[in-house]
C-alpha cells in the first residue's frame, strides 16, 4: 500500500499500509494479484470510470460485478485497462470500510454518490494498490471536471485527496470492512479473536490453488508455478497471469480449486469401482476430483450454463462424468449411490477473500431463505445414498444456520444416518477445523501463515 510522495515525518510515505488497531503478527508479504502494473500511472480516466462502474454494481446486488464486467464501459477497454479497473474495484471492495472511515474524517457532509465513488476509487489506488498519488489524484479531479453535475466538486476532490496524501490516512480498523450485521454474527458465533482474524483475512488477495490428477507430481508442478504443496496435495501459487499459459494446463494435469473446496471430496473418499453423485455440481471442481478417483460419477445441476466449465474441464483433463441438467430435488432417476456429495447453494460468505462483494450483497433474510433450500436438498440427498453408503454435506458459508444447524436437524429427521467423524490430517484440512461432533468448520483465517483458505462447513454421514 502506498500514499503519495513523502510529505512529513510519519505520513504519506510510499508503501505504507493502512494502520489497524488490532493487527496481529505479520507474515512475510507475498505478491498480490491486484498489484497494479508500473504503467498504471498512464492508464486514463476511462479505466477509472470502469472501476467505479464495477464497484457500484458489486454494492447494488449479488453477482453485479460479474455482470458489469460485460458492460461496454468495461469491454471496450484494452486488456491492461480492464485488468486495472477490476483490480481497483476489488481493492475498494476489500477495504471499503477503512476507506470510508478515512473519508468520513475529511468530509463535513456526505457528497453525492458519484463524488464518493471517485474518492473511493482514488484511495483504493493510492492506499492499497500503490498507484502514485499524483496519478490517482489528477485523474480523479479530471473525472469530476468532465461532468457538469460533478464539476462543482472538483476542488473538494482535490482538497480531500491532497489532504490525505499530506497528512496520512490515520488509524483504521479491519473490522470496519465487514458489514455490521455480519460482524455481530461472527463475533457471537466465533468470538472476538476469530472475528479479528476473519477481518484481517477479508483484506487479503488470495493465492491460486490447483487440484491435481492422481498421476501428476505436486512437487514438480509447485516448482513450475513457483508455488508450494499444501497438506492434502493442493498446489498453491502466487503466480499471476493467464492460467491457460501455465505448465500442465494444456495437458489437463490440474484445475483451479481453492484448497478448502477440495476438502469435501477427500472427506467423501470415493474409490475406483464405486458409484457417486455430485448434486449441485457446477462449476464442477468437485466432480473432477470424484472422476479422478476412478469412481463412476453423475454430475447433477439445474443450470446448463453453469455446467459449461465442467464440460470444458472434462474435455481438457480427459476425465469422464455423466451430466444431468435437472434440479436435484426433481431428478426422477431411481439409482442410489455409494457416495453422495451435496455442495448446497448458500450465501457463500466464506468466499469473501475471492469474492469480497458477497459481504455487501448478502442480506440477513437470505440466510433463512437458503437454509430452507438446504433442508429440502439434504432430504433429497438422503434418498440417493445406498445402504452402507455415505453422504457429505458442505457449504462455503460461515453461517451456522447453513452448516451445523442443518446437520443437527437432519440427524433428528433421519435416524438411519450417523456422523462419520473427519480426520483433518488425512484430508488436508486445518487441525483446528475439527468440531466436537466430528464435522469440519474451516475459517478463512486458518492457515494464515500459508495465505488462508475459503470458509467451509462439511460433515460426513453414513447410512447404517
Q: How far apart are CA 104 and CA 1, in angstroms?
A: 20
Q: What is the DSSP letter of 462?
A: E
Contact (CB, 8 A) for 295 and 274:
yes
- Paired sense of beta strands 275-279 and 337-343, if any: parallel
Q: Report which DSSP code applies to 299.
A: E
**C-alpha dist (Å) from residue 5 to 42, 166, 183, 373:** 17, 8, 35, 53
How far is Cα 464 from Cα 87, in angstroms, rounded to an integer?
A: 50
Write the CA distances from 225 to 205, 208, 222, 288, integer angstroms: 18, 10, 5, 21
Q: How far apart are CA 190 and CA 433, in angstroms?
A: 12
Q: Which residues contact 206 (CB under 8 A, 6 or more apart)?
A: 33, 258, 353, 354, 451, 452, 454
Single pTM value for the model: 0.87
pLDDT score for 241 = 84
In degrees, rounded to 5, the angle at the alpha carbon of residue 324 between the alpha carbons of residues 337 and 397 is: 75
Helix (H, G, I), strand (E, B) or coil at 293: coil
Number of C-alpha atoms within 13 angstroms, CB side, residue 110?
6
Per-residue pLDDT, 60: 87
The answer to whether 103 touches 123, Cβ cutoff 8 Å, is yes
Q: How far apart are CA 327 and CA 345, in angstroms?
A: 12
What is the DSSP pairing of strand 456-463 with strand 440-442?
antiparallel
Sign of CA dihedral 226, 232, 234, 237: negative
Lookup: cell for 78: 484494452
- Predicted pLDDT at 399: 98
CA–chain centroid gap for 314, Å, is 23
pLDDT number for residue 43 = 56
What amino acid positions are annotated as catalytic residues? 396
380-390 as b/e: b if 16+ CB within 10 A: bbbebbeeebb
- Cα–Cα distance for residue pair 111/119, rounded to 1 Å: 10
Q: For residue 12, what are the contacts with CB-CB under 8 A and spacing of at least 6?
A: 3, 4, 5, 6, 133, 165, 166, 167, 168
**One pLDDT digit (tens) per residue for the chain, 464 residues:** 333 333 333 333 333 344 443 333 333 333 343 444 444 444 578 999 999 999 999 998 888 888 999 999 999 999 989 999 999 999 999 999 999 999 999 998 889 999 999 999 999 999 999 989 988 999 999 999 988 999 999 999 999 999 999 999 999 999 999 999 999 999 999 999 999 999 999 999 999 999 999 999 999 999 999 999 999 999 999 998 889 999 999 999 999 999 999 999 999 999 999 999 999 999 999 999 999 999 999 999 999 999 999 999 999 999 999 999 999 999 999 999 999 999 999 999 999 999 999 999 899 999 999 999 999 999 999 999 999 999 999 999 999 999 999 999 999 999 999 999 999 999 999 999 999 999 999 999 999 999 999 999 999 999 99
Phi, psi of 194 (to 5 degrees): -65, -40
- 236: which strand partners? 209, 228
Amino acid at each position: 500500500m502506498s500514499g503519495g510522495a513523502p510529505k512529513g515525518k510519519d505520513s504519506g510515505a510510499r508503501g505504507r499500509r493502512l494502520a489497524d488497531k488490532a493487527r496481529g503478527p505479520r507474515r512475510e508479504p507475498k505478491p498480490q494479484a491486484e498489484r497494479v502494473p508500473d504503467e498504471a500511472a498512464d492508464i486514463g480516466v476511462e479505466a477509472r470510470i470502469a472501476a467505479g462502474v464495477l464497484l457500484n454494481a458489486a454494492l447494488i446486488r449479488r453477482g453485479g460485478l460479474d455482470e458489469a464486467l460485460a458492460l461496454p464501459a468495461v469491454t471496450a477497454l484494452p486488456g491492461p485497462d480492464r485488468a486495472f479497473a477490476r483490480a481497483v474495484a476489488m481493492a475498494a471492495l476489500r477495504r471499503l470500510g477503512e476507506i470510508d472511515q478515512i473519508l468520513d474524517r475529511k468530509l463535513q457532509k456526505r457528497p453525492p454518490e458519484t463524488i464518493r465513488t471517485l474518492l473511493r476509487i482514488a484511495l483504493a489506488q493510492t492506499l492499497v494498490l500503490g498507484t502514485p498519488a499524483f496519478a490517482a489524484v489528477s485523474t480523479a479531479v479530471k473525472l469530476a471536471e468532465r461532468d457538469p453535475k460533478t464539476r462543482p466538486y472538483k476542488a473538494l476532490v482535490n482538497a480531500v485527496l491532497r489532504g490525505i496524501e499530506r497528512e496520512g490516512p490515520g488509524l483504521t480498523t479491519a473490522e470496519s470492512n465487514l458489514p455490521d450485521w455480519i460482524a455481530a454474527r461472527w463475533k457471537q458465533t466465533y468470538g472476538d479473536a476469530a472475528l479479528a482474524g476473519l477481518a484481517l483475512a477479508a483484506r487479503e488477495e488470495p493465492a491460486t490453488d490447483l487440484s491435481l490428477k492422481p498421476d501428476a507430481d505436486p512437487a514438480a508442478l509447485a516448482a513450475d508455478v513457483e508455488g508450494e504443496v499444501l497438506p492434502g496435495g493442493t498446489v498453491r501459487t502466487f503466480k499471476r497471469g493467464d492460467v491457460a499459459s501455465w505448465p500442465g494446463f494444456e495437458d489437463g494435469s490440474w484445475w483451479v480449486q481453492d484448497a478448502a473446496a477440495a476438502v469435501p471430496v477427500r472427506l467423501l473418499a470415493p474409490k475406483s469401482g464405486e458409484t457417486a453423485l455430485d448434486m449441485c455440481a457446477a462449476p464442477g471442481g468437485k466432480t473432477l476430483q470424484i472422476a479422478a478417483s476412478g469412481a463412476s460419477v453423475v454430475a447433477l445441476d439445474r443450470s446448463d450454463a453453469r455446467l459449461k466449465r465442467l464440460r470444458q474441464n472434462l474435455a481438457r483433463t480427459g476425465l469422464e462424468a455423466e451430466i444431468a441438467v435437472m434440479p436435484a430435488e426433481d431428478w426422477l432417476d431411481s439409482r442410489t449411490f455409494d457416495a453422495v456429495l451435496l455442495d448446497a447453494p448458500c450465501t457463500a460468505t466464506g468466499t469473501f477473500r475471492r469474492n469480497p462483494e458477497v459481504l455487501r450483497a448478502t442480506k440477513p433474510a437470505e440466510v433463512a431463505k437458503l437454509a430452507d433450500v438446504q433442508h429440502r436438498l439434504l432430504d433429497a440427498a438422503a434418498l440417493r445414498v445406498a445402504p452402507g453408503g455415505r453422504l457429505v454435506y458442505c457449504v462455503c458459508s460461515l453461517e451456522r444456520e447453513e452448516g451445523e444447524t442443518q446437520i443437527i436437524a437432519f440427524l433428528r429427521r433421519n435416524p438411519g444416518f450417523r456422523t462419520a467423524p473427519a480426520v483433518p490430517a488425512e484430508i488436508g484440512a486445518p487441525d483446528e477445523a475439527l468440531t466436537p461432533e466430528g464435522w469440519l468448520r474451516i475459517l478463512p483465517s486458518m492457515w494464515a501463515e500459508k495465505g488462508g483458505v475459503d470458509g467451509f462447513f462439511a460433515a460426513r454421514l453414513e447410512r447404517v
